[in-house]
Amino acid sequence: VSDASGCSMIALLHTGAAKFPQNLLSRSRQAVSPLLPAGVFKGFSSIVSRKLASHGFGASMAAMSSFPPQRYHYFLVLDFEATCDKPQIHPQEIIEFPILKLNGRTMEIESTFHMYVQPVVHPQLTPFCTELTGIIQGMVDGQPSLQQVLERVDEWMAKEGLLDPSVKSIFVTCGDWDLKVMLPGQCQYLGLPVADYFKQWINLKKAYSFAMGSWPKNGLLDMNKGLNLQHIGRPHSGIDDCKNIANIMKTLAHRGFIFKQTSKPF
């Protein structure tokens, strides 16, 4: 600080506000605040807030180290892989069923459910399906049926405390296909009920478009590119896609975005 007004220090902090480390910022504030006129740091906070907002990181200094509380205790990230071919086969059947339990406060993964499912109508995977998803025949042969997997999902949900009425959770998918088309369609074909917790979800594409102002035409690839994130794992691997969804959600949350249900009630 060069004089009683502390102008040189404020100019320094102002110049590097967007990059200044949070711990050093705090120490600098403690060191120089006794030397500054009242209200100077309040003005500095406003400067930092504007700089953070210009970089897409929310409207307050808190965005540098935390993010706003979400509406849900847990997000359940889901991404099915299903039998497929060109031209498309009917009915399609789920062959990979992954779920990541994401803590709504920390946006960290707390638990994983992951099973492969044996198709029954078209039990033999096509070469196109294996090339697209990376799932080979031996990964689905002898695996539980969809009915059995759904029963295990329910057991996992109970074990994780997600069936407690006081716990708010919601599924998150990359698009509406998984829970609007694929699961209810196959359950209808097999005569299986669809649990109520599968009937509301967040479409990450819509959430991203609300947060970033552009529609991700190429799904996860566009969202990772728009947020300067590295793609995790193999495209069209259900469990890897879930990890990418979780990473994108965490990044948006750190930017101050609050996730809301996008599906319409059934």
List the catalytic residues: 81, 236
Q: Report the alpha-carbon angle 82-248-239, nearest 5.
A: 30
Contacts of 234 (CB under 8 A, 6+ apart): 134, 240
Rounded distance, CA 146 to CA 151, Å? 9
Cα-flanking dihedrals φ and ψ of residue 111, to 5°?
-160, 155
Place of tokens 């948006």: 252
Q: Report the alpha-carbon angle 153-156-158, nearest 5.
A: 110
Rounded distance, CA 7 to CA 15, Å? 12
Rounded distance, CA 46 to CA 232, Å? 37
Cα-flanking dihedrals φ and ψ of residue 76, to 5°?
-110, 100
- Residue-by-residue DSSP string for 36-96: SPTTHHHHHHHHHHHHHHHTTS-SSGGGGT--PPPS-SEEEEE--EE---SSPPSS--EEE
Rounded distance, CA 186 to CA 192, Å? 8
